[in-house]
Chains A and B, each alone.
Chain A
């Protein structure tokens, strides 16, 4: 585990500004509310999809109709009315404002703290921007570099048209339509998302970030991501955004599938900051995500996530360690404040021999929030010498929040080595006074303590993401002890 050292301090000097990509906006376009076969067909048609894709969606819809919304998670909420949602809406133009003076000052304050540039602030809050030319050239160079290496990185709708053989082969191969209620729904109605293919032996020379993707404004309610790393390839993929994401759509049900073929490695990092609802807990996003990766022989998948947003989070990025010697990792920071509820964790399914998994989960709860870790480590009978290490730490602020840990272990092979550690701590008065005495105010002290607590996970994030994530933790917990 590395730590903040003199070298890091030096590096901080060099950290460059975050580069945002640009996106083109498409005319607003929305379907009537409700879901039936005709709507599913219409979505497919709208996207000009081939027959097999339409059939796939319809099949998913049939499966979904037979399913029930799960209620085993440690969260309570008013279940959405699925017939009262519009299932297709192309990225919409936000109402254009003339200047930042017209934007919610609270939002601007947050932007400022995140260090987001004025231009970017304007873009995010829907103020007319005139200078996007720089980003255009960045995005273009970016695409060229990738194309040279044979890397495909495009919206999944484009991949369905241009690379049907890849999509057909892999979509639903890791998260089948039948997997769960939200995955089935997503399969039927997914709006768009990202597709990424790294050819054999290619090491992707840059972090692939959704920022850079052209033609993709709002992520949409039902995002679908498919990442395929062919044999001996490597890719680091960044998803999400630290800027607060407000969205009129309350329900979000994304599916992410990762496929790491023999000797390949995928690093998937997420920073999620959906609107969590106001101080009373009203209006937040419900985030029900299915993320899963499949590892073939000697392959490795790492999930790293920083979750600060959403009213409800239901999310378990998982690894199926199918190939011998494959490795799965899960590093997570989940922050809940006010009335947020998070039920998150991972599943590590050990099928191959000598498979190895590591789980580091850091839960931080403040306000009246509930933060649950739910993890499954499953060792199949033929997974000889499988190993798992799990560490779940909880940090509590105040007396009204809750932290819960639900570790499930199913070991069907005696040679398995499984280690589980769990700790719960509280931010102490002594720690706060000590920081205060050194001139660090209480909000900043909490941020410092929380960053220290989360260090092992923050260190797994790519540099520019880590810096933003730290600021984000700070903002999410501001004023939570007082």
Chain B
């Protein structure tokens, strides 16, 4: 599904990604771990197409299509979703209105009719229930005054609504309490299928107990320095990053 080949990216002439290779197939869960500042968020932003970053070398291919010339919204229409490490506030725009717009814009781009309001309502309710989100929450301004955990849960709510092919979750577990973590992990697991894939960026083994990855990669200074199975995460937890550098 996703093929990243020798990806180099920089911002303001500072090289951050220095040759990433990653291959994600449908149905797989990949975890990316690595110390602060190693380039994890940069990698997700570059996949999502953020224009502040310059791709200096290499390519990102989604289902056989090179993403180079696609704008972030076009990539989203192709099924890429990124849960933000720091979700952004949009005052005056409710959670409901935002997700409704996102879904309908994506449908339009894919040649579909807008989702009828009653189906939208049904879907919003079902998803809110799955993620144990209070209805009142859906009428609040997007991310405005949300607690750290609420912001993350809201990101997963949007993911569940949009049903992406490739979901990149950037530290979605940070800031979640233990109960919330279970709810979110449960949500992600329910939505997993043979046709979609998940890339989890995390610092903690704990999330990986609930969402078991097929592969774990360690990112260090803009390169993947080690890859392995789920057991690699345990080892890292024990030994720290010095061990793989």
Contacts and interface: CB of A to CB of B under 8 A. Distances in A.
B93 A451 contact: yes
A448 B82 contact: no
Contact of A452 (B82, B106, B141): B141
Given A10-B121, A448-B101, A438 B91 contact: no
Interface stretch (B10-18, B68-76, B213-221): B68-76
Interface in A169-214: none
Interface in A444-482: 444, 448-449, 451-456
Interface in B92-130: 92-94, 96-103, 105-106, 109, 117-118, 120-121, 124
Interface stretch (A1-9, A57-65, A101-109, A302-310): A1-9
A9 B71 contact: no
A111 to B, nearest CB: 19
Given A4-B94, A5-B139, A434-B90, A439 B109 contact: yes
B238 interface: no
B124 A453 contact: no
B139 A4 contact: yes
Contacts of B72: 433, 436-437
B175 interface: no
A315 to B, nearest CB: 24
A439 B73 contact: yes
A278 B94 CA distance: 34
A3 B103 CA distance: 20
A9 B121 contact: yes
Most chain A C-beta atoms within 10 Å of own C-beta, residue among B50, B109, B140, B158: B50
Most chain A C-beta atoms within 10 Å of own C-beta, residue among B94, B135, B162: B94
A412 to B, nearest CB: 36
Contacts of A5: 94, 96, 138-139
Nearest to A433: B50
B102 A438 contact: yes
Given A5-B94, A438-B98, A429 B120 contact: no
A440 B94 contact: no
A188 B72 CA distance: 58
Given A437-B48, A439-B102, A448-B101, A455 B73 contact: no
Contact of B77 (A9, A439, A455): A439
Given A436-B76, A438-B76, A441-B105, A454 B92 contact: yes
A136 B71 CA distance: 50
Nearest to A362: B92
B90 to A, nearest CB: 6
B102 A430 contact: no
B65 interface: no
A456 B140 CA distance: 14
A439 B106 CA distance: 5
Contact of B76 (A12, A437, A448): A437
B52 interface: yes
A455 B92 contact: yes
Interface string B55-82: 0000000000000000111001100011
A9 B124 CA distance: 11
Contacts of B92: 3, 451-456
Given A6-B138, A444-B101, A434 B93 contact: no
B242 to A, nearest CB: 34
Contacts of A131: none
A147 B48 CA distance: 62
B105 A444 contact: yes
A137 interface: no
B204 interface: no
Given A4-B97, A453-B91, A434 B73 contact: no
Interface string A1-45: 001111001101100000000000000000000000000000000
Given A3-B94, A12-B117, A436 B101 contact: no
A161 interface: no
Contacts of A440: 73, 101-102, 105
A216 B60 CA distance: 61
Contact of B82 (A9, A437, A441, A456): A437
B105 A9 contact: no
Contact of B96 (A6, A430, A436): A6
B35 interface: no
A9 B76 contact: no
Contacts of B141: 3, 452
A417 interface: no
Contacts of A437: 48, 72-73, 76, 81-82, 84
Interface of A: 3-6, 9-10, 12-13, 428-431, 433-442, 444, 448-449, 451-456
Interface of B: 48-50, 52, 71-73, 76-77, 81-82, 84, 87-94, 96-103, 105-106, 109, 117-118, 120-121, 124, 135, 138-141, 158, 162
10 contacts: A3-B140, A4-B97, A5-B96, A9-B96, A9-B117, A434-B90, A438-B98, A439-B76, A439-B103, A439-B109
Given A4-B97, A13-B118, A440-B101, 10 more contacts: A9-B120, A12-B117, A431-B88, A431-B89, A433-B88, A435-B90, A439-B102, A440-B73, A444-B105, A453-B92
